């Protein structure tokens, strides 16, 4: 059965493994190689089981450990053309690293991975839709200021969706961040609020998605309880009682979390 391991999920670092201990793919490598290897092994996965790394965009919380991980284990790296150009220009891939564009879809170790554009404040930002060897689909959808029609179309009908629920609007508004940073986060090219995420989740459940993971929660402007409570209020009691789905909030750092879908 298909499995996802949310290893790291926050503004401090992001990485998710989809597969089994025998092999799979990594979405982002946004923490140090040492921490990433430790998290994989905590879940019973050896780093050599990573057959490919897919990068969503070039912000440090998604690529912080990429170069070292690649130097040690050498899995092929895939990203949008724009992101790849930036990685190469900044020498963020080791010299002998195998790499390719994800724009047209990639088939690797039994997985077929396609990408879709996400509205974020860097060129080439994408989310990924993963078709697993056993016929399931899951989507990784973080770092977006709003849900576009294209994104909604990609997410609908997926067996599992990991979607950003980055900030609580009140906590962000009243928090200590500088005003310009608050504007960036809440913009159409920033991050998805709990409310906007919850509205999308409702439509996904209605379309047949049965596994929802809320991810990329801000340490300063959100908490798992606040994010989950916002979702429950948005769904409503009757909706919750009459729908078959499972909700998980991705931890900032894994304690051994596996979600089967």
pTM: 0.96
Q: Which region holds residue 255: left if phi is over 0, alpha if psi is between -120 and 50, else beta?
A: alpha
pLDDT for the residue numbered 256: 81
If we measure between CA atoms, which residue out of 132, 150, 152 comes closest to residue 259? 132
Q: Which tokens sit at 15? A: 């990485």
Mean of per-residue pLDDT scores for the chain:
96
* Percent of residues, the chain, with pLDDT higher than 70: 100
Is beta strand 126-131 parallel, antiparallel or unpaired with respect to 137-141?
antiparallel
User: What is the Cβ-side half-sphere exposure of residue 174, based on CA atoms within 13 angstroms?
Assistant: 5
pLDDT, one tens digit per residue, over 196-233 is 999 999 999 999 999 999 999 999 999 999 999 999 99
Query: Within 10 Å of residue 22's Cβ, how many Cβ atoms?
Result: 10
Is beta strand 23-27 parallel, antiparallel or unpaired with respect to 50-54?
parallel
Domains of the chain: 3-260 (3.60.15.10)
């Amino acid at each position: 059965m298909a499995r996802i391991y949310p290893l790291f999920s926050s503004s401090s670092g992001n990485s998710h493994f989809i597969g089994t201990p025998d092999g799979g793919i990594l979405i982002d490598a946004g923490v140090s190689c040492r921490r990433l290897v430790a998290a994989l092994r905590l879940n019973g996965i050896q780093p050599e089981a990573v057959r490919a790394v897919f990068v969503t965009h070039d912000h440090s919380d998604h690529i912080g450990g990429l170069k070292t991980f690649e130097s040690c284990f050498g899995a092929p790296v895939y990203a949008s053309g724009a992101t790849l150009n930036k990685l190469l220009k900044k020498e963020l891939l080791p010299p002998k690293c195998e790499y390719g564009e994800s724009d047209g879809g990639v088939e690797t170790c039994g997985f077929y991975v396609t990408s879709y554009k996400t509205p974020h404040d860097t060129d080439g930002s994408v989310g990924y839709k993963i078709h697993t060897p056993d016929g399931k689909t899951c989507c990784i959808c973080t770092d977006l200021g709003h849900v576009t029609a294209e994104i909604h179309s990609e997410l609908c009908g997926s067996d599992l969706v990991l979607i950003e629920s980055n900030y609580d609007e009140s906590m962000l508004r009243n928090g200590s961040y500088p005003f310009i940073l608050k504007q960036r986060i809440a913009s159409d090219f920033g991050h998805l609020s709990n409310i906007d995420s919850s509205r999308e989740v409702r439509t996904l459940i209605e379309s047949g998605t049965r596994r929802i993971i809320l991810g990329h929660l801000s340490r300063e402007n959100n908490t798992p309880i606040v994010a989950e409570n916002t979702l429950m209020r948005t769904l409503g009691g009757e909706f919750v009682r009459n729908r078959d789905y499972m909700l998980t909030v991705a931890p900032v750092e894994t304690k051994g979390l596996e979600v089967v879908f």
